[in-house]
């Protein structure tokens, strides 16, 4: 009979060994040489966590040993001048034996996973030199991946190899919560996010959301924070929107938690100073005083040109001193379209501001409108609206008031304007090709508009760009059928979809342009007007008999009208009798004394009319938002030309005179 004490000891030893083998770890490394110490580390997502240390002693054998389980993850053994890695895929007893020979590590005992992994690490050190092509490397990795799946299942090695093989799938990777304690998991996530960075902000946001949604719960905050960090530091214009989206959707609403409280504070400030002025958003309104004390609205100002440059600066800023003349050079060199320059002085010294404006903001370029404003009390909150925490700060805004460039310098501004200009020219070449025909029937024009707008409708951004440019192209054409096409485009595509443009001013301008075009159209009989002359006698437009009639709408106090009146007087003297053309000047103002004085001072020997009833009869029949306006009618009061300049009228007179002589 066995000694009871001996039996009890044996059972105790068995239980102890079983418990150790189930929950503990023992990592043995034979380096073959004496070493001071070695470290066992867990390669965590963002950090290296020290797990254990060991002394090699004289025999060069390192032993890491503990009773607690090792978390599934990627581990590193650092000894002397060397190191190697191994995987733990399951949270149970870990026993691994390694032998270091020269610069290679051999797996002596343990899991197949680490046997394959050490072989792969050794191959990467030297074996790859025997390969003759990259394709061979890919085939080898694919083969090793299939072998690891067959022998080790869904191990960390399999996940690692899969991402390097042709079967790699980032969404499968992030769905595995074990990636929290790996270095390679974070590396592949950052690689995927880096690819997303080169997409538009909209696509990048969609990609980030999909990645986070696919992640295991413990990985969601890690993936989201990695995404925020990347887009927060991105040098690509427009990606600030992605960082703001991540902060707002995942962290600032507490959907996900941040380990670092200071990081949350950073996100709050980043969103506060960036979210209002992101690319694609409407530029926040500023209504600031210029040097004369007049208030100038940024929103109204943007309507006067193709693009508006919004520039924040101060007089004592070294970077501003460098950038300001370069920005002015960009505007001086502009000859493609009208630019607006809305500069905001962020300093507090009015005299220094005026001097800076006089010394720096000047150009003879007629294609530039200038507005120099300031807000010394910061009542507009421009610091927050446009993130002006330092100067200079430069934005580019399109004619719809939408921000299309931010965080620019002079060089980037020029490049952006050049790109937009090249894009416009490319579109106009396309339009030239589409409308290149000798028979510009309205049916053909409308069909072409339908094709251009219909084919781009699936891409809203492209559709808006094409519709915008096509309208301008058609409206400014010398061919009447194409001008009619602009009305068709506005009525069938832009105005019905006004919400897409989010620009009430633009839609209102189109409505007015359509109304103006449809009133007294070319080839139609002009509306009759019942007015009175300077003597008070009634005169009807249709009762005036002549081969041609020039119908001129003006105001006595209009500066442009004064020059037009002078030119029309000259044309009347040259062509009035020769072409039997009556000149009919209609005063649209309401002060009779001012009108009569104007007639005398300008020696207007033509038919002078006005509405003595001060009713709306003129404006009800003719769209006269702006004056002067000139119409040319034939003997039957049919509109031959409308809303033309005095120079246009002179050219028409020359043509009519030439035709008369030829006949």
Tracing tokens 């950090």 back to the chain, one arrives at: 47
pTM to 2 decimal places:
0.79
- Quote the pLDDT of residue 130: 65
Run of H or E residues at 432: helix 410-434
Which two three-digit tokens encode residue 148?
Answer: 């690891």
The whole-angstrom separation of Cα 603 and Cα 606 is 9
Instruction: Taking residues 145-157, report their average pLDDT.
Output: 92
277, 279, 284, 288 alpha-carbon torsion, rounded to 10°: 80
- Quote the pLDDT of residue 480: 86
The whole-angstrom separation of Cα 337 and Cα 373 is 23
Which two three-digit tokens encode residue 489?
Answer: 């485009």
Q: Which fold has domain 4-124?
A: Immunoglobulin-like (2.60.40)
The whole-angstrom separation of Cα 290 and Cα 70 is 69
192, 195, 196, 198 alpha-carbon torsion, rounded to 10°: 170
Instruction: Taking residues 336-355, report their average pLDDT.
Output: 93
Q: Is the CATH number of domain 530-662 3.40.30.10? A: yes
Q: What's the length of the chain?
A: 663
- Quote the pLDDT of residue 2: 45
DSSP 360-423: H-----TTEEEEEEE-TT-TT-HHHHTT-SSS-EEEEEETTSBEEE-S--HHHHHHHHHHHHHH
The whole-angstrom separation of Cα 175 and Cα 369 is 55
The Cβ of residue 74 has, within 10 Å, a number of other Cβ atoms equal to: 23
The whole-angstrom separation of Cα 200 and Cα 194 is 13
- Quote the pLDDT of residue 261: 82
Buried-state track 150-176, b at ≥16 Cβ within 10 A, e below 16: eebeebbbbbbbbbbbeebebeebbeb
Min mean pLDDT across 130-139, 161-170, 249-258, 346-355 is at 130-139
Instruction: Taking residues 133-143, report their average pLDDT.
Output: 81
Which two three-digit tokens encode residue 357?
Answer: 């404006």
The whole-angstrom separation of Cα 598 and Cα 592 is 10
SS (H, E, C) 294-346: CEEEHHHHHCCCCEEEEEEECCCCHHHHHHHHHHHHHHHCCCCCCEEEEEEEC
CB-side exposure of 227: number of CA atoms within 13 Å? 34
Residues 6+ apart with CB under 8 A from 45: 179, 180, 181, 182, 183, 185, 186, 222
The whole-angstrom separation of Cα 86 and Cα 430 is 60
Mean pLDDT, the chain, rounded, equals: 90
Buried-state track 442-479, b at ≥16 Cβ within 10 A, e below 16: eeebbebbeebbeebeeeeeebbbbbbbbbbbbbebee
Nearest to 553 by CA among 611, 602, 592, 605: 611
Q: Is the omega angle on the peptide bond into residue 533 within 30 degrees of 0, that is, cis?
A: no
Instruction: List the beta bridge partners of residue 27.
Output: 64, 96
Burial bucket for residue 191 (CB in 10 Å: 0-12, 13-18, 19+): exposed
Which comes out higher in pLDDT, residue 559 or 580? 580
Which two three-digit tokens encode residue 356?
Answer: 């800076």
Strands 307-313 and 339-345: parallel
Min mean pLDDT across 61-75, 337-351, 609-623 is at 609-623
The whole-angstrom separation of Cα 561 and Cα 568 is 10
Tens digits of per-residue pLDDT, 289-324? 999 999 999 999 998 788 999 999 999 999 999 999
Residue 48 pLDDT > 90, yes or no?
yes
Tens digits of per-residue pLDDT, 19-46? 334 679 999 999 877 767 899 999 999 8
Tracing tokens 């060089």 back to the chain, one arrives at: 411
Tens digits of per-residue pLDDT, 354-395? 999 999 998 788 889 999 999 999 999 999 999 999 999 999
Which two three-digit tokens encode residue 553?
Answer: 């709408």
pLDDT band, residue 128 (cuts 50/70/90):
low
- Quote the pLDDT of residue 35: 65
The Cβ of residue 27 has, within 10 Å, a number of other Cβ atoms equal to: 25
pLDDT band, residue 117 (cuts 50/70/90):
very high
Tracing tokens 């200071």 back to the chain, one arrives at: 262
Strands 307-313 and 94-101: unpaired
The whole-angstrom separation of Cα 445 and Cα 616 is 35
Which comes out higher in pLDDT, residue 335 or 386? 386
The whole-angstrom separation of Cα 181 and Cα 219 is 10
Residue 14 pLDDT > 70, yes or no?
no
Burial bucket for residue 491 (CB in 10 Å: 0-12, 13-18, 19+): middle
Tracing tokens 């007893």 back to the chain, one arrives at: 93
pLDDT band, residue 18 (cuts 50/70/90):
very low
Nearest to 587 by CA among 548, 543, 557, 542: 557
Instruction: Taking residues 138-155, report their average pLDDT.
Output: 89
SS (H, E, C) 226-268: HHHHHHHCCCCCCCHHHHHHHHHHHHCCCCCCCCCHHHHHHHH
- Using alpha carbons, list the distances in angstroms from residue 245 to 194, 255, 596: 17, 13, 65
Which two three-digit tokens encode residue 366?
Answer: 């007629």
Burial bucket for residue 16 (CB in 10 Å: 0-12, 13-18, 19+): exposed
pLDDT band, residue 102 (cuts 50/70/90):
confident
Domain boundaries 287-416, corresponding CATH code: 3.40.30.10
- Using alpha carbons, list the distances in angstroms from residue 76 to 55, 73, 326, 416, 474: 16, 10, 53, 48, 69
Tracing tokens 């580019």 back to the chain, one arrives at: 396
Q: Using an 8 Å Cβ cutoff, are 374 and 304 in contact?
A: no
- Using alpha carbons, list the distances in angstroms from residue 361 to 291, 324, 407, 517, 655: 13, 8, 21, 39, 45
- Using alpha carbons, list the distances in angstroms from residue 312 to 340, 355, 394, 406, 510: 14, 16, 6, 12, 32
Instruction: List the beta bridge partners of residue 343.
Output: 311, 372
Residues 6+ apart with CB under 8 A from 37: 53, 54, 55, 56, 79
The whole-angstrom separation of Cα 172 and Cα 157 is 14
The whole-angstrom separation of Cα 431 and Cα 524 is 28
- Quote the pLDDT of residue 88: 96
Tens digits of per-residue pLDDT, 420-479? 999 999 999 999 999 987 778 889 999 999 999 988 888 888 999 999 999 999 998 888
């Amino acid at each position: 009979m066995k000694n009871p004490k001996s039996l009890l000891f044996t059972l105790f030893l068995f239980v102890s060994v079983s418990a150790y083998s189930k929950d503990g770890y023992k990592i043995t490394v034979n380096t073959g040489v004496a070493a001071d110490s070695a470290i066992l580390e867990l390669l965590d997502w963002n950090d290296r966590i020290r797990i254990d240390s060991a002394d090699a002693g004289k025999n060069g054998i390192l032993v890491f040993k503990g009773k607690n389980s090792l978390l599934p993850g990627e581990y590193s053994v650092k000894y002397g001048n060397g190191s190697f890695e191994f995987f733990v895929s399951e949270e149970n007893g870990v026993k691994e034996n390694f032998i270091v020979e020269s610069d290679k590590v051999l797996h002596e005992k343990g899991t197949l996973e680490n046997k394959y992994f050490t072989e792969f690490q050794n191959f990467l050190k030297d074996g790859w030199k025997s390969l003759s092509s990259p394709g061979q490397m890919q085939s080898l990795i694919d083969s090793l991946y299939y072998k690891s799946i067959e022998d080790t299942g869904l191990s960390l090695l399999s996940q690692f190899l899969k991402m390097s093989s042709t079967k790699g799938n980032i969404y499968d990777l992030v769905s595995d919560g074990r990636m929290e304690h790996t270095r390679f998991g974070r590396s592949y996530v950052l690689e995927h996010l880096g690819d997303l960075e080169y997409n538009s902000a909209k696509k990048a946001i969609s990609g980030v959301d999909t990645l986070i949604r696919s992640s295991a719960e413990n990985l969601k905050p890690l993936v989201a924070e990695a995404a925020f960090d990347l887009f927060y530091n991105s040098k690509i214009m427009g990606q600030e929107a992605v960082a703001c989206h991540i902060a707002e959707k995942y962290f600032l609403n507490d959907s996900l938690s941040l380990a670092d409280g200071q990081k949350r504070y950073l996100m709050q400030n980043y969103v506060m100073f960036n979210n209002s002025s992101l690319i694609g958003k409407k530029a926040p309104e500023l209504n600031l005083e210029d040097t004369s004390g007049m208030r100038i609205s940024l929103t109204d100002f943007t309507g006067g040109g193709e693009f508006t440059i919004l520039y924040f600066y101060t007089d004592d800023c070294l970077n501003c001193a460098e950038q300001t003349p370069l920005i002015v050079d960009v505007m001086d060199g502009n000859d493609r379209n009208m630019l607006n320059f809305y500069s905001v002085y962020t300093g507090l010294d009015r005299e220094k501001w005026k001097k800076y404006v006089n010394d720096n903001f000047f150009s003879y370029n007629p294609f530039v409108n200038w507005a120099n404003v300031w807000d010394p009390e910061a009542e507009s909150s421009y610091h927050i609206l446009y993130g002006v925490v330092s100067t200079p700060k430069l934005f580019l805004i399109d004619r719809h008031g939408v921000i299309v460039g931010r965080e620019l310098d002079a060089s980037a501004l020029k490049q952006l304007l050049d790109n937009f200009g090249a894009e416009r020219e490319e579109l106009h070449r396309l339009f030239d090709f589409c409308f290149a025909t000798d028979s510009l029937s309205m049916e053909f024009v409308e069909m072409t508009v339908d094709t251009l707008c219909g084919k781009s409708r699936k891409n809203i951004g492209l559709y808006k760009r094409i519709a915008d440019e096509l309208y301008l192209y058609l409206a400014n054409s010398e061919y009447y059928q194409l001008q009619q096409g602009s009305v068709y485009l506005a009525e069938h595509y832009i105005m019905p979809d006004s919400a897409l443009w989010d620009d009430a001013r633009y839609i209102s301008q189109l409505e007015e342009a359509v109304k103006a075009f449809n009133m007294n159209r070319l080839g139609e009989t002009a509306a009759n007007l019942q007015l009175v002359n300077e003597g008070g006698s009634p005169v009807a437009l249709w009762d005036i008999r002549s081969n041609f009639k020039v119908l001129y709408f003006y105001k006595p106090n209009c500066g442009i009208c004064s020059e037009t009146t002078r030119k029309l007087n000259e044309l009347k003297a040259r062509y009035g009798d020769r072409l039997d053309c009556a000149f009919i000047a209609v005063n649209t103002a309401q002060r009779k004394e001012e009108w009569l004085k104007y007639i005398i001072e300008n020696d207007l020997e033509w038919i002078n009319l006005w509405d003595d009833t001060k009713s709306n009869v003129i404006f009800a029949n003719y769209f006269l938002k702006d004056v002067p306006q000139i119409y040319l009618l034939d003997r039957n009061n049919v509109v031959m030309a409308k809303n033309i300049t005095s120079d246009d009228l002179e050219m028409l007179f020359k043509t009519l005179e030439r035709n008369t002589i030829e006949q």
